[in-house]
Chains A and B, each alone.
Chain A
């Protein structure tokens, strides 16, 4: 189905996620790159050697969750916008999620926006905690949102209504 719709199945998504324990320890990257393509900026970007593509740049990136610090550098460098960061260390009820968002208008900090799943369906409202857009991110802003824990595996995008 993924090949027909672009929507990964729940099982595919789960396979890319670290354990709840790891997420509760602090920020960590989830790399949703499912198919072999000639690409490796995620590996090049990571200063902690947490992502490996290897000699053959067609390999699917492998992430070592223990080495990943959740710094989000790879997130703005990935041309597929395939990476997000989850952090469950801040609260028992919510998780903080960082996603790349290349649309205008950017949301404001504190604004409540629509939280969307991998089909683009509205599943919950989320609060924007932070908007990071330094020059080094090269026009791929990173948005931090606060999300109800029960949507951890579904949330993947936001919509800012004007």
Chain B
């Protein structure tokens, strides 16, 4: 059995910042991530980020992992990194089972854990939604921005949240035509600066529209969409058919946190945080002592908030096991202020409403 002071599960922005923060306090940290390289969602975000300087605003997402890893390298005698390693089990005995590559299992017994496993994509049900050519937005982004493969020639984007808008823009940058962006909601969900920059490329955004069916024999050939009323019921006679070979589904994310449920942390369904999330206190400690959560796994938000949550959870996890630095209260206050600042606007009203239901 491997021993570790703090294990961080997931090496996205939240996990990297949690590890950095805990190591800065003096704790030994083991980061495990199932991917080949660290960075989580960031490795496919070729666009500039929002937020403020402290969260690397205006820097392209793809460049942020390098900045974080450089910072993390300052504590290299405290930090061990295991990629290609998936946490597959986490039970009452507090032991984490890790699967390395595809064949090697081992166990780790940590004093504290930060779960920063991110989120996974929701899908949509409609006839023939299993035709080749129908992808989740994350898959399209991975193909295009990680592997340099065009997903097709003409895309219908389903979902006008930030992800749908940004992936549409990136598709156009890759030379793929975007026929239209639809959303069942009556208003565009993403930031309007993103919507405007796509609209002025000539791409129509159809709000109050949904997918009726996909058509194709061996792969997607056409998509039929229709208008919906205020109750999201399709309105007959409003069908439009698009000749597309790709449909990209971007209808939101769900927190990925089964490990916490497995470990016995109290979970609660909070729609504003996009699904089942762990109950936690203001330090991001769950209902099980020394088990912390950070980032999208604690509720789907943004990389900016994920990083700050990571710093906070890492700091508090280290303090709980005896590494409480002199500037603990200052650092904690700074992170809490940054989170409040990020969440103070109308774009985050739902997050605040969600957080109200989840505090321990």
Contacts and interface: CB of A to CB of B under 8 A. Distances in A.
Contacts of B344: 38, 56, 58
B192 A3 contact: yes
Given A34-B192, A58-B344, A44 B53 contact: yes
Nearest to A53: B52
Nearest to B196: A6
Given A3-B192, A4-B186, A156 B200 contact: yes
Contacts of B191: 35, 37, 80
B187 interface: yes
B50 A5 contact: no
Interface stretch (A90-98, A112-120, A141-149): A112-120
B143 interface: no
Nearest to A121: B202
Contact of B341 (A4, A33, A57): A57
The residue in A34, A41, A56, A159 that gathers the most chain B C-beta atoms within 10 A of its C-beta is A41
Interface of A: 2-8, 32-41, 44-45, 56-58, 77-82, 102-104, 116-121, 138-140, 156-157, 159
Nearest to A32: B196
B200 A118 contact: yes
B57 A6 contact: no
Q: Which 4 residue pairs of A and B lie closest in terms of their CB atoms, listed nearest first?
A: A58-B345, A80-B193, A120-B202, A6-B195
A88 B343 CA distance: 40
A2 B205 CA distance: 11
B279 interface: no
A82 B200 contact: no
A7 B52 contact: no
Nearest to A117: B200
Interface string B188-217: 100111111111111101011000000000
B304 interface: yes
Contacts of A156: 200
A74 to B, nearest CB: 10
Contacts of A37: 50, 191, 193, 345, 347
The residue in A37, A44, A116, A117 that gathers the most chain B C-beta atoms within 10 A of its C-beta is A37
A157 B201 contact: yes
B222 interface: no
Given A6-B188, A6-B192, A79 B199 contact: no
A78 B191 CA distance: 13
Contacts of A80: 50, 191, 193-194, 196-197
A5 B205 contact: yes
Contacts of B187: 3-4
Contact of A56 (B51, B193, B196, B341): B341
Given A4-B188, A6-B192, A39-B50, A103 B199 contact: no
A7 B342 CA distance: 26
Contacts of A5: 188, 195, 199, 205, 207
Interface of B: 47-53, 57-60, 172-173, 175, 186-188, 191-203, 205, 207-208, 304, 341-348
B172 A82 contact: no
A57 B200 contact: no
Contact of B51 (A4, A33, A38): A38
Contact of B202 (A39, A57, A104, A116): A116
B192 to A, nearest CB: 5
30 contacts: A3-B192, A4-B207, A5-B199, A6-B205, A7-B196, A32-B193, A32-B196, A34-B192, A35-B347, A36-B345, A37-B193, A37-B347, A38-B348, A39-B50, A39-B52, A57-B341, A78-B48, A78-B193, A79-B48, A79-B193, A80-B50, A80-B191, A80-B193, A80-B197, A103-B173, A116-B202, A119-B202, A138-B48, A138-B59, A139-B60
A78 B304 CA distance: 16
Nearest to B343: A38
Contact of A82 (B60, B188, B196, B346): B196
Contacts of A34: 192-193
A140 B199 contact: no
Contact of A57 (B47, B197, B342): B342
Contacts of A102: 173
A154 to B, nearest CB: 11
A36 B192 contact: no
Contacts of A4: 186-188, 205, 207-208
Contacts of B60: 138-139
Given A118-B196, A157-B200, 8 more contacts: A6-B205, A8-B196, A35-B193, A36-B345, A56-B344, A58-B347, A103-B172, A138-B59
Nearest to A38: B342
A58 B51 CA distance: 9
